[in-house]
């Protein structure tokens, strides 16, 4: 785009400047040379007439060459620009990331077409919405404060994870990167690059729940082991008391009968 603008701005100078140089040299030098070498007035008049015709022909040819050269350069630059835009648009529309542009009030100016596939809203519906209208209630305050920070800090990159309401009423998790380009006349808005991370969040939550269940199982197993150890300890105490009692009972009768036998 910058290359095309440079060519367009430079084209008049590139055409006019050579024309002025050739014209000045032709008018002054040719007249001086003709007067110096030709003294015949009639011949000089005829040569002047031919010189004027030749000047027109040469000028037209030169202008045609310069104009065609610049037009070809501009046309080539234009086609390259269109090609780059098509590639960029294909990457945006067929990629996983959603590209959004909103104004200072938060209204969407541009939304990539893959947003309709991810969130279910049409481009017309997006044009009447803002992010804060479809943000999850628990994330509203965080995003509102962040938007204020974004507007106050042009050019600074902001990262956030938040939930956005799908058209069907469900909520999807997004990871977003926002940059304020409101002062850039070529952009004139806040750019958001957002990616659906709902599956990743679900996997993280499933892992958290699994860890909680495992921790609960460990706690329950620990309690069971403590109870079992306590029961075994009590049983061992009962065994010890029983053995001591039995041993005492067996020894006492024998001791009492020994003097009688003697």
Query: Are 112 and 89 spatial neighbours (Cβ–Cβ below 8 Å)?
Result: no
Q: Give, as one character, the DSSP assignment of residue 26.
A: I
Query: Are 29 and 55 spatial neighbours (Cβ–Cβ below 8 Å)?
Result: no
pLDDT band at 7 (very low <50, low <70, confident <90, very high): very low
**What is the Cα gyration radius of the chain?**
46
**CA–CA separation, 186 and 220 (whole Å):** 63
pLDDT in the model for residue 9: 47
pLDDT in the model for residue 182: 92
pLDDT in the model for residue 2: 45
Identify which has the larger pLDDT, 80 or 1: 80
**CA–CA separation, 58 and 65 (whole Å):** 11
**CA–CA separation, 38 and 30 (whole Å):** 12
Query: Are 50 and 26 spatial neighbours (Cβ–Cβ below 8 Å)?
Result: no
pLDDT tens, position by position, 52-105: 677 777 777 777 777 777 777 778 777 777 777 776 666 566 667 888 899 988
Query: Are 112 and 126 spatial neighbours (Cβ–Cβ below 8 Å)?
Result: no
Place of tokens 């199982």: 217
Question: Would the CA dihedral through 160, 135, 100, 103 be positive or negative?
Answer: negative
What number is the average pLDDT over the span 155-179? 94
Query: Are 45 and 31 spatial neighbours (Cβ–Cβ below 8 Å)?
Result: no
pLDDT tens, position by position, 210-240: 888 888 888 888 888 887 787 777 777 777 7
What number is the average pLDDT over the span 104-110? 88
Helix axes 41-94, 2-24, angle to 10 degrees: 180
pLDDT in the model for residue 247: 67
The DSSP element (H or E) to which 194 belongs, if any, is: strand 189-196
pLDDT in the model for residue 168: 93
Q: Torsion angle, CA of 218/220/226/231, rounded to 10 degrees?
A: -140
pLDDT tens, position by position, 171-225: 999 999 999 999 988 888 999 999 999 998 889 888 888 888 888 888 888 888 8
What number is the average pLDDT over the span 157-183? 94
pLDDT band at 249 (very low <50, low <70, confident <90, very high): low
Query: Are 113 and 124 spatial neighbours (Cβ–Cβ below 8 Å)?
Result: no
Q: What percent of the chain has pLDDT over 70?
A: 71
Per-residue exposure over 134-157, b if at least 16 CB sit within 10 Å of its own CB, e if not: bbeeebeeebeebbeebeeeeeee
Q: What is the DSSP string of 64-111?
A: HHHHHHHHHHHHHHHHHHHHHHHHHHHHHHHSSEEEEEE-TTSBEEEE
Query: Are 160 and 132 spatial neighbours (Cβ–Cβ below 8 Å)?
Result: no
What number is the average pLDDT over the span 234-247? 71
Q: Torsion angle, CA of 108/114/120/123, rounded to 10 degrees?
A: 40
């Amino acid at each position: 785009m910058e290359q095309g603008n440079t060519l367009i701005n430079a084209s008049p100078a590139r055409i006019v400047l050579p024309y002025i140089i050739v014209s000045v040299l032709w008018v002054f030098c040719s007249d001086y040379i003709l007067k110096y070498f030709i003294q015949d007035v009639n011949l000089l008049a005829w040569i002047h007439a031919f010189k004027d015709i030749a000047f027109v022909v040469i000028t037209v040819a030169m202008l045609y060459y310069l104009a065609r050269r610049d037009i070809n350069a501009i046309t080539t630059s234009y086609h390259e620009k269109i090609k780059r835009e098509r590639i960029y648009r294909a990457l945006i529309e067929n990629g996983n990331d959603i590209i959004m542009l909103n104004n200072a009030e938060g209204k969407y100016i541009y939304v990539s077409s893959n947003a309709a596939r991810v969130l279910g809203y049409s481009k017309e519906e997006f044009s009447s919405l803002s992010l804060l209208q479809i943000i999850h209630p628990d994330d509203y305050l965080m995003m509102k404060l962040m938007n204020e920070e974004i507007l106050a800090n042009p050019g600074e990159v902001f990262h956030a994870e938040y939930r956005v309401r799908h058209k069907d009423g469900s909520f999807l998790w997004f990871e977003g990167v926002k940059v304020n380009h409101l002062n850039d006349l070529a952009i004139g808005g806040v750019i958001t690059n957002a990616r659906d991370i709902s599956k990743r969040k679900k996997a993280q939550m499933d892992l958290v729940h699994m860890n909680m269940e495992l921790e609960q199982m460990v706690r329950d197993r620990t309690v069971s082991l403590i109870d079992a150890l306590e029961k075994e300890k009590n049983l061992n105490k009962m065994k010890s008391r029983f053995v001591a009692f039995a041993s005492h009972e067996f020894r006492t009768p024998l001791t009492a009968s020994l003097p009688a036998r003697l």
